Every structure is written in structure tokens, then in C-alpha cells.
Amino acid sequence: MIRTKNPLLPYFFVAPLVLLLLFVFGYPLVQIFDFSFRRIRGIDGPWVGLENYQLILNQPLFHEAVQHNVQLLIAVPIILILSLIIAVILYDRVPGWRIYRTIVFIPYILAVPIVAVVLKKFFQYDGPFNEALRVVGLDLFALDWMGSPDLALWTVLSVIIWREIVFCIVLMLARLLSLDEEMLEAAQLDGAGWWQRLWFIILPQMAGVIEFYFVVSFITMIAAVFSYIFMIGKGGPGTSTMVLELYIFNFLTRSSLPGVASAVSVMLFLVTTVLILILFWVRRGEREQELA
Amino acid sequence: MKHSRRLSRRDFLKTSAALGAGLTLSQSLPALARTRRQDDELVMWWWGEQELPGLQAWVDDTVAAYTGAKVSAMLQNTDVVISQFQTAAAANEAPDVQFLWNGIYHMESVWFGYLAPLNGLVDQAVLDRSGATRLSFYQGDQYRIGWYPLPMIWEYNKDVFDAAGLDADNPPKTWDALLDACDKIKTSGVDPIGGGVQDGFWGEWYLGHALAQSLDSPSEALDLFIGDLDFREPKYHEFWVRLEELKTSGFLNDSMSSLELYPGIDLVVTGQLGMSESIGTRVPADNDTLNGRVGVMTMPVFGTGALAGKPILDSQGLGISSQTEQKEQAAAFLEFMHAPEQLAKFWELTHWMPADSTWDSSVIDAPIVQQLWDGWVTSADSIPYIPNLMPAQFWTDAMFVASQEIIAGTMTGEAAGDLAARVVQEWRDFNPDLVENYQKWADDLR
């Protein structure tokens, strides 16, 4: 271990990297905050105070976008429950588990734009999904999955779940593989059934990874679904799949109003920061409980 | 035995120094690149291969044939044509020559001061014959030179018309005749009209054809888009009411909401659809596929505006950055693009017409292309494409939404008018600094 009498020396060593990080992350953040208070044309513009925020908050489309992001949060518990079940099944090494594990991971190695384009065609009104339904006589269920404003958001949601679930399964499986098998075997010898082992032994030990994924996927649904939305329907039909990221994109690249886009970005940043802080707070509380 | 390598202090400092040097270098590279480019070459950012296959070959040929300067041409992605240029211009890194869509798609760059007027730079005779259209002018100055024309048309399948008992050589000219034709085509078992609205462009084209019918001049459209006129007046949202009529009559294809623009038009070529909106550049290929059984027409008339029933002509174009120190060289290159040899090459490599009234059109080998040249490109009746006057916020929040929802059956034409009026007000609130420019532009177009 290196010992030094000068307490500032370690800071000196890390300073270049800290400065680099500040430049890479800090500078754009400051710039975005600054932009959000200006009417930017190109890369500069006059100070307008809170006007951008007021305009956004008064626009019905913004509220629709927020509402759709909130609706997408339904995916979080669905993904968690499904992936937990699938991970436990794979962990139990049911016959053919190696093949199932490979199949389950396939969606995650496909790029989102490819997934979106393929599934968009799959769900078209005259696409393979509806054709299959018609062939088996289920014409009644051959709906306009992508073209109906009532259905489009739920179709996008199903595509998001289909792909994003894989990351959760990987996390769950990794945690399961690190569990103490002796405890599970002992429970089995004592007569605990599958459900009892899951509920009383496996789940309590997976609380940490579940909390982690909960926050990560929460942030994903609020601030990282753009590629799905843009590739599938660009917010349509109508405004039925408009989300905050697309709202930002439209103001930034189409309406050439980076100040407005920055104001929404700042709001999004603050929301996600609060979520991360909540996670840290919960985790710290748990750690303190464990130590006590 | 494996040895784990620990990061020594020396390595750490070396890494930090390398990162710092890299950062400094990356900051200075654009400046170095700019210096080198200004000395040696013209930089052109262009777009068009996406809609006109063969254009890349023509650009390559033109760049190779040009001896006035070395030209570096970069094909742009559709989604960033405007933002890439404006961002580069704001950072004083704009290319010398830039592809420009018509109307508002380059006019905002004019207002921001990113484009140079071409009058006095490019030979006036070349500018005059390039078919840049009225929407390339602001306060008396021309900012775009025409590159190739885009007739905005309705395309129909003559075999479908024949099978429905219609006269394929005399397509409907009035709204009532259109409804009658739709009825007969539907009875014959084919979807009469439609396409694909999922990506929004069908809705834009529809607005271009249909809103024009209620207008007496392009300036009236600008007055509408900036709120000096009101979309809630029946006259101004009638075009959406007519779309609603086509929907409720069952004349639109059921798959329309889930299809994108071009797959939707393909249904005409495959005989699954009678009519759709289309664009001139698609016609030669579609006509070849259908063995000459494609017809083109203007939108049947319902409106009483002076623009109703007129052929619509748009054009793609190019401009010169206000920041370049090589304006004369850039202008010379644009003139070279309109040299007779390059115009002939344009047809040879794209099988499409260049935007130049002196081009030798005798090489046109298909009657339908000749019809487009005579009836749209060189016609004195041709009118500008109205969506080129539409602010982007109107495109995303009003046109896109209204057309998709009407076609999905979840919005009426009247409600679309209310939505448009609200979006126009929002646009004014978000862009108070642009309203005056739009008003001046409207005055130019009166």
C-alpha cells in the first residue's frame, strides 16, 4: 500500500480523470440547463426564463406523452414476474433447459430497430399475425394492432416486454446461480414444495436484484424507449404512442427548438435522478438493517 | 502461474496524459479540417438517392467530370438533412453546397442567415430555367437552384379501372365522379383508394392536394399556418371532412393505418388498390411493372379556390452556405450541374428529368413521362406544393395526427380543424420570433 504524508496527493492523481468526466458529463448537463432557459436558434439565443417550461406544461401533447410513459410502466411488474418464473424454471434445469436458455436470449442479441421493423410488419393489419388468426378462424381477433389508436400503445408495450425481459432473466438467473444450493436442498429434504422454496427461500434472497431491476426498468420506461417508439410508429397513429423522448426529438430536430427540447430533458433528468436517489436510500436502509 | 498486472502510478499518469492529449486533439481537429477544406475542395452535402435511384451515380459522375475544383460529396440521412446542416452552420462548419428541400424546409435556414442569396452568384439564366419554384424566394432573393422536378400526382391502375367498367383514359375530374368511380371499383372487389398513412407522408401529400382546393394563393396557406386565418372555418378544414367521407364510405383500404407510404402505393401496382397519391419519380418504374397500364391525374375537384384542380409541382434543389469563402466556386459547380452534358447524363443515369427547361426532352421514351413533363413540369398552370409552407410543429402535431386519426376513424374532419387551430396557436407561442418572417414571406407570395 502506498503511504504519503500529503493528503492532497491522491486527489492530484485522480484529478485528470475527474476533470475529463466533468467535461464529458458535466459540461453537456450545464449546457442543457442553460439552453432550457433560452429560445435557442442554432446554438444560442436570448434568455426567456421559465417560458419554455410554461409552454410545455400548458401543451396537452406533453401531458399525453407523460401519460403514455406512465402507462408503459405496466411493463415493469409484468417483466419482473415473467422473468422470475422463467429464470426459476431454467434454474431447475427442466428437460431441454439448455435449448430454452438459448432461445430465451435471442431477442436481446437483436438490435432494437431490427426487432421493431420486423414486429411492425408482423402486426400489420394484413401481416402474418392476423393472417394466422384468420386461417384458424379467429377473424374476430384480427385487429389493427399497429393502426388503431386504441391498440397501438399496447402493441408497442408487448414488443418492449418481449425484448427487455431477457435482460431481467439474465440478472435473475445470475443471482439464482449464486444462491446457496445447500439451503435449497435442505428445504427440499424437509418437505418444502416448489412454491414454498420460491416464496420463503429464493425470493427473499433476490430482493436486491429485484429492487435494482425495478429502478433500472422504471427509468427505461420513462426515458429509454425512443428506439421502439420511433421505429414502430413515430408516436402515431395520431398521438397514441407519443412519449417524452419523441416529444423531445420532435422539438429538437423537426421544430428546431433546442431550448424547448432541453427543458423537457431537464425535467426527465430530474425525475430519473430522484428515482436513483430513492434506490440508494432504500438500499442503504436495508444494508443498515442487515448490519444491525 | 498467472500474474495480475497492477496499474502503476506511472501508467496512471501516462494514461491521464494520453487522455488529455486526445481531448485537446479532438477539439482542434475540426479546425484543422476546416482549414484544409477551404484550401482544397468544395464540400457538398446532398440527399436524393433515397427517392431517385441513380442519383448517386450522377453525383459521382458530375464530381469526377468537374475540373473547376475538387468536390467532396456526402449523401445525408433523410432524418437529419435539415438539422445536420443547421447545427453545422451554427458551429460555422457548414458545407459549401447544401441540398435543400423546398419552401419552409430551407426558409428557416435563410432566416437564420445560413444561406447565401444566389442572385448575382449563379448565372441568372441558369437560375431562371432551373424550376426552383416560387417557394425558393424571400424578399426578392432566390436561395435555391432547382435540381430535379417532383410532380405531385394521383396514380391509378388502368386495369383496375377497366375491370370496374370505368374509362381508364378519362379518370374522374370532380368529387362526385370520384365517389362514383370508387363505388364501381369497390363493387368489382378492389379497394378503390388509399395507400399507407403510418409514417405520416400520405397525410402530408393529401393536404398538399386537397387543402389547395380551398385556397386562392399559396400566401393564404401561410396565413392559415401562422394563425392569421382560422382552420375552424369550414372552408379550411373541408379537405379533412372529404377524407372522413372517403373513410366512412368504406373506400379506403383497411390496411391503410398500418402501412407506410410506399408499400401503400405498391398496392396500386399489384392491383389491390385502384388509386393512390404518388410522386412523379415513382411513375416510370410503376408503369414498367404494369406494362404501361399506370395512369396519372390531378386530384378530383371539390373546392372552389383558384388553386383547385391545378397540377402541383415541387422540386428538389441546392443552395450555397453563407459561411463559405468559396461562393463563386460553389456557384460555378452549380452551373456545371446544369450544363447540357450533365443534364443528358442525368436522364441517362436516373431515367428521370432534370429541373431545367432547356433540357432536351426528346429523349423521353414513355408517354406517361411525357405527360408529366408537359402537364406538370413545364405547365404554366402548375402550383406550388402547399405543405412546403407548413411549420414543422404543424406537421408533427396537427397534420400527422389528424390524417391518421381520421383514417383510423377516431376523429372527424371538423375536430381536425379544431386541432389544427390549437396547434397553430401553440406554434405562435413557441416561435414568436418567426411569426414576422412568415408574414413577410406571405406578402412575397401574394
Q: Does A107 touch chain B (CB under 8 A)?
A: no
Chain B residue with the nearest C-alpha to that of A253: B83
Cα–Cα dist A198/B197, whole Å: 49
Residue B389, in any domain of the structure = yes
Q: Distance between CA B110 and CA B334 in Å, rounded?
A: 19
Q: Position B376: which residue type? A: W
Site of grid cell 400526382: B153
* Shared-domain flag, residues B171 and B184: yes
Calculate mean pLDDT across residues A198-207.
90
Choose the most confident range, by mean pLDDT, from A51-55, A178-182, A201-205: A51-55
Same domain, B75 and B131: yes
ipTM of the complex: 0.89
Q: Are B360 and B390 within one domain?
A: no
Peptide bond into A16 cis (omega under 30): no
Q: What percent of chain A has a predicted confidence (pLDDT) above 70?
A: 99
Give the per-residue pLDDT at B143. Answer: 98
Residues of A in contact with B257 (CB under 8 A): 125, 144, 146-148, 237
Of the two residues B30 and A275, the one the predictor is more confident about is: A275
pLDDT for residue B31 = 40
Q: What pLDDT shows up at residue A1?
A: 55
Q: What pLDDT is attached to residue B4?
A: 41
Answer whether A42 sits within 8 Å of B90, measured CB to CB.
yes
Interface test with B, best of A23, A248, A253, A260 (most B CBs within 10 A): A253
C-alpha distance from B258 to closest chain A C-alpha (Å)? 4
For A92, phi then psi, to 5°, come to -75, -5
Residue B206, sorted as left (phi over 0), alpha (psi -120 to 50) or beta, turns out to be alpha
pLDDT digits (tens, 9 = 90+) for B29-42: 444 444 345 567 99
The answer to whether residue B39 neighbours chain A at the CB level (below 8 Å) is no
What 3 state SS string does chain B have? CCCCCCCCHHHHHHHHHHHHHHHHHHHHHHHHHHHHHHHHEEEEEECCCCCCCCHHHHHHHHHHHCCCCEEEEEECCHHHHHHHHHHHHHCCCCCCEEEECCCHHHHHHHHCCCEECCECCECHHHHHHCCCCHHHEECCEECCEEEEEEEEEEEEEHHHHHHCCCCCCCCCCEHHHHHHHHHHHHHCCCEEEECCCCCCHHHHHHHHHHHHHHCCCHHHHHHHHCCCCCCCCHHHHHHHHHHHHHHHCCCECHHHHHCCHHHHHHHHHCCCEEEEEEEHHHHHHHHHHCCCCEEEECCCECCCCCCCCCCEEEEEEEEEECCCCCHHHHHHHHHHHCCHHHHHHHHHHHCCCCCCCCCCHHHCCCHHHHHHHHHHHCCCCCECCHHHHCCHHHHHHHHHHHHHHHHHCCCCHHHHHHHHHHHHHHHHHHCHHHHHHHHHHHHHHC
CB A118 within 8 Å of CB A232: no
Q: Residue range A208-215: average pLDDT?
A: 90
Question: Does residue A121 carry a pLDDT above 50?
Answer: yes
Q: Among residues of chain A, what percentage have pLDDT more than 90?
A: 69
Q: How far apart are CA B439 and CA B446, in angstroms?
A: 11
**How close does chain B come to A132, measured CA to CA in Å?**
16
Of B198, B255, B430, the CB nearest to A260: B430
Residues on chain B touching A150 (C-beta within 8 angstroms): 410
CA distances from B313 to A224, B79, B131, B385 (A): 41, 23, 9, 6
Q: What is the pLDDT of residue B26?
A: 43
In a shared domain, residues B306 and B359: no
* CA dihedral of residues B76, B79, B81, B87 (deg, nearest 10): -110
Which tens digits make up the pLDDT trace of A219-249? 999 999 999 999 999 999 999 999 999 999 9
Chain B residues 116-145 within an 8 A CB cutoff of chain A: none
pLDDT score recorded for residue B37: 55
pLDDT tens string for chain B (446 positions)? 344 444 444 454 444 444 444 444 344 344 444 434 556 799 999 999 988 999 999 999 999 999 999 999 999 998 889 989 998 998 899 999 999 999 999 999 999 999 999 999 999 999 999 999 999 999 999 999 999 999 999 999 999 999 999 999 999 999 999 999 999 999 999 999 999 999 999 999 999 999 999 999 999 999 999 999 999 999 999 999 999 999 999 999 999 999 999 999 999 999 999 999 999 999 999 999 999 999 999 999 999 999 999 999 999 999 999 999 999 999 999 999 999 999 999 999 999 999 999 999 999 999 999 999 999 999 999 999 999 999 999 999 999 999 999 999 999 999 999 999 999 999 999 999 999 999 999 999 98
A131 touches chain B (CB under 8 A): no
pLDDT at A104: 87
Alpha-carbon torsion (B257, B262, B266, B268), positive or negative: positive
Chain B interface includes A8 (CB < 8 A): no
Residue A208 has what pLDDT? 87
- In a domain? residue B410: yes
Inter-chain residue contact B411 with A238, CB threshold 8 Å: yes
B371, B395, B410 — which closes off a domain? B371
If one counts every other C-beta atom within 10 angstroms of the C-beta of residue B343, the result is: 18
Domain boundaries, chain A: 46-291
Whether the CB of B188 is below 8 Å from some CB of chain A: the reply is no
Q: Is residue B379 part of a domain?
A: no
At residue B279, the pLDDT reads 95
Could you give the CA distance from residue B206 to residue B276 in angstroms, rounded to a whole number?
10
CATH number of the domain that residue B61 is part of: 3.40.190.10
pLDDT classification of A184: cutoffs 50, 70, 90? confident
Single-letter residue type at A250: N
User: How confident is the model at residue B27, as a pLDDT?
Assistant: 41
Q: Could you tell me which chain A residue has the CA closest to the CA of B18?
A: A16
Contact pairs from chain A to chain B, CB under 8 Å: 118
Would you state the pLDDT for residue B257?
A: 97
Best residue in B25, B258, B424 to probe A by mutation, most A CBs within 10 Å? B258
Q: What pLDDT does residue B332 have?
A: 97
pLDDT at B33: 43
Residues 238-267 of chain B with CB under 8 A from chain A are 254-259
> Does B172 share its domain with B105?
no
Q: What is the pLDDT of residues B344-364, one digit of tens each?
A: 999 999 999 999 999 999 999
Residue B27 lies in a domain: no
- Beta-carbon contacts of residue A215 (< 8 Å; ≥ 6 apart): A275, A276, A278, A279
Cβ within 8 Å, pair B400-A236: yes
Give B-chain residues touching A13 at CB under 8 angstroms. Answer: 9, 12-13
Nearest chain B residue to A150 by CA distance is B410
Residue A186 pLDDT > 80:
yes
In CATH terms, the fold of domain A46-291 is MetI-like fold (1.10.3720)
C-alpha cell of residue A206: 433476490
Residue of B nearest to A145 (CA): B258
Provide the 10 A C-beta neighbour count for residue B175.
16
How many structural domains compose chain B? 2
Query: In this structure, are B183 and B138 located in the same domain?
Result: no
Residues of B (336-395) whose Cβ lies below 8 Å from A: 391-393, 395
Mean pLDDT of A239-265: 95
Residues B44 and B106 in one domain: yes
Instruction: Verify that B133 and B269 share a domain, yes or no.
Output: no
Which residue in the set B19, B197, B422 is minimally distant from A16, CB to CB? B19
A4 confidence band (pLDDT: 50, 70, 90): low
Show which of B329, B346, B371 is a domain's final residue.
Answer: B371
A148 vs B: CB within 8 A: yes
* Per-residue model confidence (pLDDT) at position A3: 64
Rounded to an integer, the average pLDDT of A20-37 is: 94
User: Which of B430, B431, B434, B438 best tests the A interface by mutation, with the highest count of A CBs <10 A?
Assistant: B430
Both B268 and B282 in one domain: the answer is: yes
- Rounded-to-integer distance, Cα A221 and Cα A226, Å: 9
**Residue B435's domain spans which residues?**
151-312+385-445
Min Cα distance A225 → chain B (Å) is 18
CB–CB of A23 and B259 under 8 A?
no
Residues B294 and B437 in one domain: yes
Q: Which residue has the higher pLDDT, A65 or A285?
A: A65
pLDDT at position A289 = 78
Looking at the fold, whether B144 and B159 belong to one and the same domain comes out as: no
Q: pLDDT, tens digit, for every residue of B106-144?
A: 999 999 999 999 999 999 999 999 999 999 999 999 999
Is residue B420 in a domain?
Answer: yes
Alpha-carbon separation of residue B112 from A154, A256, A261, B85 (angstroms): 41, 11, 19, 12
Same domain, B137 and B57: yes
Query: Long-range contacts made by residues A29-33, C-beta under 8 angstroms, separation at least 24?
Result: A29/A269, A32/A262, A32/A265, A32/A266, A32/A269, A33/A262, A33/A266
pLDDT digit string, tens, across residues A134-158: 999 999 999 999 999 999 999 999 9
